[in-house]
A and B are shown apart, each in its own frame.
Chain A
Amino acid sequence: EIVLTQSPATLSLSPGERATLYCRASQSVYSYLAWFQQKPGQSPRLLIYDASNRATGIPARFSGSGSGTDFTLTISSLEPEDFAVYYCQQRYNWPPWTFGQGTKVEMK
C-alpha cells in the first residue's frame, strides 16, 4: 500500500498570502496524484488531477506540480473561501486508492 504523507498538518496564513502544501508518497506514483479541497460540512471537491491539471471550474490561483514521490499544491493568493482542508490522493497503485492525512489551511 502506498502511504501519502502531507505537510504541514496546519498552515496559518492571511488572505492574499501564498500557500504551499506538500505531499510525499512512500514510493513513486509517477504523475497519478490528485488534490481535493474539503470545507466543513461539505463533500470533497477535486482541484487537481494527474499532478498538475486543474479540474473543471477550478480557479487559476490553484496549481499543482511534482512527479514520482514529491508533490506540491500552491495557492498563489489566498481568497477567504480557500480556507479549508486539502487532501492528496494517489491512483497509481490500487487497490487501495490512498489519501494523505490532510493539511488544514486556517486563517491567521
Chain B
Amino acid sequence: EVQLVQSGGVVIQPGGSLRLSCAASGFTFSAYWMHWVRQAPGKGLEWVSRIDSDGGATSYADSVMGRFTISRDNAKSTLYLQMHSLSPDDTAVYYCIRDVTHAFDSWGQGTLVTVSS
C-alpha cells in the first residue's frame, strides 16, 4: 500500500524558517517525481513545487520561488520542503504527492503550517 506520512503541524512566526518532511513507503520512491501542493484555509489547491526522481530537476510556483527549496533523500524514501521568509500568506495545509505518469495519484495526510505572531 502506498503511504505518504507527513510531519506534524506547526505554528511559526513571520520571517521564520521551517522544513516539512514526507516519508514514503509501499512503492519504489526513487522512481517517481514528487510534488508539494498547498491549500490555504477555506481556499482551493495551489501547486507549490516539484522534484524529479533523482533530485536533479526542480520547479517552483512564482509565489515561493527563491524562498522554498524542495529536496529528497532516496535512500531514506523521504521528501522535504525547506521554507524560508515565511509570511501569513504561506499559512496553509501542505500536501506531498506522488506523480505517476498520468496524474497525482497519492496524497499525504497534509501538514498545517500556521504563520502567525
Residues on A facing B (Cβ under 8 Å)? 34, 36, 43-46, 49-50, 53, 55, 87, 89, 91, 94-102
Name the residue in B59, B103, B107, B109 with the highest tally of chain A Cβ atoms < 10 Å from its Cβ.
B103
B59 proximity list for chain A (CB < 8 A): 94-96
B11 within 8 A of A: no
Q: How many A-B residue pairs have CB under 8 A?
A: 54
Chain B proximity of A20: nearest CB distance (Å): 20
B50 proximity list for chain A (CB < 8 A): 94-95, 97
Interface of B is mostly: strand
Interface of A is mostly: loop
Task: Pick 14 A–B contacts, CB within 8 A, sort by A.
Answer: A43-B108, A43-B110, A44-B45, A44-B95, A49-B102, A87-B44, A94-B50, A94-B59, A96-B59, A97-B47, A97-B104, A99-B44, A100-B44, A102-B44
Query: What total of chain B residues lie within 8 Å of the partner, measured CB to CB?
Result: 19
What 9 pairs between A and B have smallest CB-CB spacing?
A: A49-B103, A95-B59, A43-B107, A99-B45, A97-B47, A49-B102, A34-B103, A96-B47, A101-B44
Complex Cα spacing A89 to B104, Å? 10
Contact of A45 (CB < 8 Å), options: B45, B107, B109, B110: B107
Chain A proximity of B23: nearest CB distance (Å): 15
Apart from the given pairs A45-B107, A96-B61, A99-B47, 19 other A-B contacts in the complex at a CB distance below 8 Å? A34-B104, A43-B95, A43-B108, A43-B109, A43-B110, A44-B45, A49-B103, A50-B102, A87-B44, A89-B104, A91-B103, A95-B50, A95-B59, A96-B59, A97-B35, A97-B47, A97-B50, A99-B46, A102-B45
B60 within 8 A of A: yes
- Given A89-B104, A102-B44, the answer on whether A95 and B95 have CB atoms closer than 8 Å is no
What residue in chain A is nearest B4 (Cβ atoms)? A43
What residue in chain A is nearest B109 (Cβ atoms)? A43
What residue in chain A is nearest B46 (Cβ atoms)? A99
What residue in chain A is nearest B105 (Cβ atoms)? A46
**Contact across chains for A95 and B105 when beta carbons are under 8 A apart:** no
Chain B proximity of A47: nearest CB distance (Å): 10
What residue in chain A is nearest B104 (Cβ atoms)? A46
